[in-house]
Structure 1
């Protein structure tokens, strides 16, 4: 579904991504792991068209994406939930959801899509007339995900969905992401919470200093000694 080859990008004269290559198959959940500053958010912004790549290719369902505008990429079905949620805090939950129905097809099915989101996130139906900014962090993250689902993504990009959440709320959000994947939505998950991300993903990649340094199935990565010590905080007994 998504094929990224030799992607280079950055800000001004500062290069962040260095020859990044990876792929995501239809129906998969793939995670990108890395520490702060490794290039994870820059990668998602480049995939979403918010940053124009310097070189390399991005193919989504065989269609070149590297020269497309963000709104064109959304219409193709590649939709991001940004880090920090980026909700319209003064607007209601319902108004935020309605704004998520960006494409023409989504607007035609707005009412039914809102109902689907309410079934997936009952708390949003309960608080639909409440200002988005007045909700808890976990509830806001659920709204951010629901808003992205309003445009019926083929591939959902999630940027650090557990940031700032308690362990209990993190579990709830990850349970919802699993449910979304079970409904046939392909997911690319960027996370610092390496163990949780790998536990629910099919495959994973590790990015350091803007480049992919490790890849494998989730089982392979969870059991990798270097990854255990660097990202999972596990030191093997010798």
Structure 2
């Protein structure tokens, strides 16, 4: 569904991504792991058309998207939940969800998609008239995911969904991400929480200094001694 080939990108004269290549197959939950500064968010910005490429290609659902605008990419079904959620904090929960359904097609299915979001996140239904900025961090993350689902994504990109959340809320969010995948949405998950990410993913890539340094099935990476020592602090 998504194929990134030899991606080079950065900010000004600073090169962040160095010939980055990876793929996400239809129906998978794939995770990209890495520490702060590894290039994870830069990768997501490049895929979504927010950051121009120096070189390389990105294909989504069989079509090249690396020269398309962000609006065109979103309309094609590639939807991102950005790091930090980026909610409209002065608007209500309901208004934030409605803004997720901004295309003509999704606007027609607004109520159906709203009902689906409320089924996944009952707290959003309870708080639908609450101002988004007054909600807890976990509730705001649920709202950010719900807003993205209102756009009917073919591929949902989640950038650091567990950041700032308690272990309990982190577990809840990851369980919901797995449920979204089981409901037919392909998921690309960018995370620092290695254990949770690999426990829920099908495959994983490890990103360091803008390059993929390790890849494989999630269960194999979770048991990799090098990965345990580098990211989990576990040595044997």
**By how many angstroms is 1:224 displaced?**
1.1
Q: 2:33 aligned with 1:33, yes or no?
A: yes
Give RMSD over aligned pairs.
Answer: 0.6
Shift, 1:112, TM fit: 1.3
Deviations 1:156-191 (A, max 9, x none): 000000000000110111111011001010000000
Counterparts of 1:162 and 1:78 in 2: how far apart (Å)?
A: 21
Displacement of 1:45 in angstroms is 0.5
Matched, 1:151 2:160: no
CA distance in 1, matches of 2:179, 2:52: 32
SS at match of 1:187: strand
* Residue 16 (structure 1) shift: 0.4
TM-score normalised by length of structure 2: 0.99
**Structure 2 Cα separation of the partners of residues 174 and 220 of structure 1:** 19
Structure 1: distance between partners of 2:98 and 2:73: 19
Match of 2:75? 75
Q: Residue 214 of structure 1 aligns with which residue?
A: 214
Match status 1:101 vs 2:114 = no
What residue in structure 2 maps to residue 131 of structure 1? 131
**SS state at 1:231 partner:** helix
Q: How far is 1:36 from its partner?
A: 0.1
**SS of match in other structure, 2:232:** coil
Residues 26-35 or 226-235, more deviating: 226-235
Query: Cα deviations across residues 46-92 of structure 1 (Å, max 9, x unaligned)?
Result: 00000011100100011001011001000110000000000001100
Would you identify which runs of 4 or more consecutive aligned residues in structure 1 move more than 3 Å? Answer: none
Q: Give the distance between the partners of 1:91 and 1:41, measured in 2 at CA.
A: 26
The separation in 2 between residues aligned to 1:201 and 1:213, in whole angstroms, is 18
Superposed CA deviations along residues 28-48 of structure 1, whole A, max 9, x for unmatched, are 000000000000000000000
The count of corresponding residues between Structure 1 and Structure 2 is: 236
Partner of 2:10: 10
How far apart are the structure 2 equivalents of 1:233 and 1:109? 46
Normalised by the length of structure 1, the TM-score is 0.98
1:204 Cα deviation from its structure 2 partner: 0.1
Unaligned runs of 5+ in 1: none
Cα deviation for residue 9 of structure 1 reads 0.3
Deviation at 1:210, TM superposition (A): 0.5
Q: Aligned partners of 2:216, 2:30: CA distance in 1, in Å?
A: 10
Matches within 5 A, 1:1-238: 1-236=1-236
